[in-house]
Amino acid sequence: MNNIVAIVGRPNVGKSTFFNRLIQRRDAIVDSVSGVTRDRNYGKSEWNGKAFSVIDTGGYIKGSDDIFEGEIRRQVELAIDEADAIIFVVDVEEGVTPMDEEVAKLLRKVTKPILLAVNKVDNGAREKDAVEFYALGLGEYFTIAGMNGSGTGELLDKLVEVLPELPEVTEEENPLPKFTVVGRPNAGKSSFINALIGEDRFVVTDIAGTTRDAIDTTYNRFGFEFKLVDTAGIRRKAKVKEDLEFYSVMRSVRAIEHSDVCILMIDATRGFEGQDQNIFWLAEKNRKGIVILVNKWDLIEKDTMSTRDYERKIREELQPFTDVPILFVSALTKQRLLKALEVAVEVYENRKQRIATSKFNDLMLPIIEAYPPPAIKGKYVKIKYCMQLPTPTPQFVFFANLPQYIKEPYKRFIENKLREQYNFSGVPIDIYFRQK
């Protein structure tokens, strides 16, 4: 189980650069497709052997300057509620601004670990300028330069020192698979679970976020026992009034990290929106099994939109990971709900499958021989041997003489061939090319 660390601060202080440094990915900055915040708000990081999840609140703020202040206040309040530790980033070039003071005022009331990071300190003069941030009343500060990384080591040393110890998750003898129902508020997660269990255990009203706790229900169907986890709101705080994108993501992070299969519910009347995509990529990045349920299908005028059109639209958004089951259901009329569970069980089994090395080679090597990787600079890449790695999620390694010359398109080709031969529907897979 990972601690959650939130990075807060006003716009343009360098939160995203710092975030990218933590998750060590340059490509996390911005996706050019608008509304696709695939990578830039959530990642995993590790320091001194301690792993934690990082959330960059900056990516969720949209709107003009006058909206910003309220937005930032709300995000800081959310981070205070949800995260285990907070890194507050300020900018030495601009000094202490009124908005920094506002954020500091909220943070001073908190008992959680707060680390103040003064960014853009890349020379001695700026080191002296940083002293004024003592005025924020948050105690000692750390001077960093997000661009070149200086100072981040000391900050992270302190962070892992102050992160609270999380309760050990005890491995049961036969842990039941966890199927977590995720999605934005009001997509019908609780109604789905109520319809399956046949009891109104979850309060369901039209107000977003009426679920009070993440509830695990042990469920037995098709001779298969598993836990159904509802994440529909988990104690929505009174002061969080709006349906914030950031909120659903913060909430989903923990639930997704602990599940085997994520059942992502989307509201047919609203379509597959940015927020649904965020949650989808969160599950994909955590290598969980995924099933998409389009709920409230009974409310759609069938002549305007067929399931085929609707499904095609969703798959376009899922590129390149399109091998995901999509079902059209209605929690209200109970249409196809059992089918949905059956598919979730299949995805769970797909994720667990192990392929014998000899069979895998017999199948994949002839395909590779027929379609070898393109030669680069007159050098031919030969792949001699392949196997599945003994990891909890499906990972495959192909041994080659020049693995560095194998590019992304060929990797995707191999993945597609693999999916044609074996059923990995709903399961993200990793493919590596290594020196033999």
Q: How far is CA 413 from its chain centroid? A: 25
Is 374 a known ligand-binding residue?
no
**Angle at which helices 245-257 and 65-82 cross, to 10°:** 30
Q: Which of 120, 122, 116 is nearest to 104 (CA)?
A: 116
Is 10 a known ligand-binding residue?
yes
Is 12 a known ligand-binding residue?
yes
Is 289 a known ligand-binding residue?
no
**Mind giving me the DSSP string for 254-287?**
HHHHT-SEEEEEEETTT-S-HHHHHHHHHHHHTT
Strand bridging mode 50-56 / 85-91: unpaired
Is 126 a known ligand-binding residue?
no
Is 183 a known ligand-binding residue?
yes
- Residue 290 pairs with which residues in a beta bridge? 262
Is 184 a known ligand-binding residue?
yes
- 3-state class (DSSP) for residue 176: coil
Is 57 a known ligand-binding residue?
yes
Is 324 a known ligand-binding residue?
no
Is 149 a known ligand-binding residue?
no
Is 108 a known ligand-binding residue?
no
Cα gap 420→364, rounded to integer Å: 11
Is 9 a known ligand-binding residue?
yes
Tokens of 160: 């892992």
Residue type, 289: G
Cα gap 133→130, rounded to integer Å: 6
Residue type, 92: V
Is 269 a known ligand-binding residue?
no
Q: Which of 291, 263, 282 is nearest to 38 (CA)?
A: 282
Is 56 a known ligand-binding residue?
yes
Is 274 a known ligand-binding residue?
no
In what helix (H) or strand (E) does residue 182 lie, and over which residues does it extend? strand 178-182
Is 218 a known ligand-binding residue?
no
Is 31 a known ligand-binding residue?
no
Residue type, 331: A
Is 285 a known ligand-binding residue?
no
Is 122 a known ligand-binding residue?
yes
Is 281 a known ligand-binding residue?
no
Is 61 a known ligand-binding residue?
no
Is 428 a known ligand-binding residue?
no
Is 13 a known ligand-binding residue?
yes
Is 298 a known ligand-binding residue?
yes
- As a whole number of Å, the end-to-end CA separation of the chain is 35
Residues in the chain: 436
Is 234 a known ligand-binding residue?
yes
Is 411 a known ligand-binding residue?
no
Question: How far apart, in Å, are the Cα atoms of 247 and each of 6, 57, 79, 296?
Answer: 12, 10, 9, 23
Is 302 a known ligand-binding residue?
no
Is 417 a known ligand-binding residue?
no
Binding site listing: 9-16, 56-60, 119-122, 183-190, 230-234, 295-298
Binding site listing for GTP: 9-16, 56-60, 119-122, 183-190, 230-234, 295-298
